[in-house]
Amino acid sequence: MKMQLGEIATAVSAQNETTMWTEIEVSSVAFDSRQLTPGALFVPLAGERDGHEFIEQAMANGAVATFWKADRGPAPTDYPVLVVDDPLTALQELSRHYLLKINPKVVAITGSNGKTTTKDMVAAILATRFNVTKTQDNFNNEIGVPVTILAMEPNTEILVIELGMDRPGQLDFLSKLVSPDLAIITMIGEAHIEFFGTRGKIADAKMEITHGLKEDGLFVFDGDEPLLQERATAVEQRQMTFGRQTADEMVATEVQTTETATTFKTNQWPDQLFELPMIGDYNVNNALAALCVAQAYRISASDAAQAFLDMNLTKNRAEWVDGAAGERILSDVYNSNPTAVKEVMAAFSQVDVAGTRRVVLGDMLELGAQADALHASLASAFDPQLIQAVYLVGPHMKALYDELLKQYPETALHLYQTDELATLTAQLQTDMTSADAVLIKGSHGIHLETVLAELKA
């Protein structure tokens, strides 16, 4: 991003006179005064503390200008200030302006599971022919999406952007902000069911990604999900489905999995073997969605296959790491919901292990009134012959603990509260041998990454 302050002032409808600062060049935006780079425009957002309190620090750290909320009173006059109604709205309007200016094609991705992995796959495939910018980390909300847009290099030809949601209307806004040329829904699960009540309402909210889809755009979705099939009939744009049924346009065939890789073919390219350098049959559907994009943008099957092998995956998504005791750790500590747990459990249960398979699960958050029942339902993913030791963290995991007592001896089960992670870690370090494998998965709010950090070599 490179823009003069005068252009920014016009884009955000700044309320004050900015003539004296018109030619100041801005090279980035930042809302954290500690992490900005010189040349940044500081955006003081409201959080636990008001971002306006950090403007002086931002300027000292190299910011060249800042937004200022009009209702805070007179703006400072000793450095460049753009007075706006609301800094967040101004950030969003600036990103809209910059997106129109660069004018890349936009591929937008959402879904209850798999959207980050799919984003990485899509970006890797498209990068074989185009200059691509993709969402970094979890920058997928009303703040992160504009920041991602404004981080685009001027030569960006395709923007691959992840759109998250936790309430109705959020994807409507984000979709209309980015106006995608291609929109993907990976799947419908139970994530955020606390805010929606039913999977049907989650599907309604996910379908909002099509609200900003261009008239000549393409809608790609899981064709094996009846909730999406029903709702897709109201979408007028072109559609393409992926899945495991013959009625889908992009269908997986000959799927084979190991603990480090998954291979498959498709009906569209029956002679091409695709290999994913990751565990789990469930990742095949994410790859199928990415291959729909490959087909839409005329990427060859061989280029797409190589892209899968070369792709850079966002961290903390089902990756193997070595433990200090020589054990293997399957880390999946970024997020969690019932569908995701069952999928990764199925894959982990088939891993060859000379010693003991151990599973550490943290509470799945945002499940509302159904939380205990959904935690208890995970019992179906456990086979005592395949998973010999279980460590559960959080108040809702008590429901799963009680259910597992019907299958396991009490000595194989361990239950901890969220403030007992150090005790959990010590128990694992005592129990673990070099022949073991352990799966660690939980919602980010449980902070199992701290356990992982202590166990890693």
Q: Which residues are annotated as a binding site for ATP?
A: 111-117
Closest residue by Cα to residue 217 from 259, 179, 189:
179
Strand-pairing partners, residue 265, are: 253
What is the C-alpha to C-alpha distance for residues 164 and 145, in angstroms, rounded to an integer? 9
Binding-site residue positions: 111-117
Please answer whether residues 31 and 43 qualify as being in contact, where contact means their C-beta atoms are separated by less than 8 angstroms.
yes
Cα–chain center distance at 313: 11
User: Which residue's structure tokens are 């909210």?
Assistant: 205
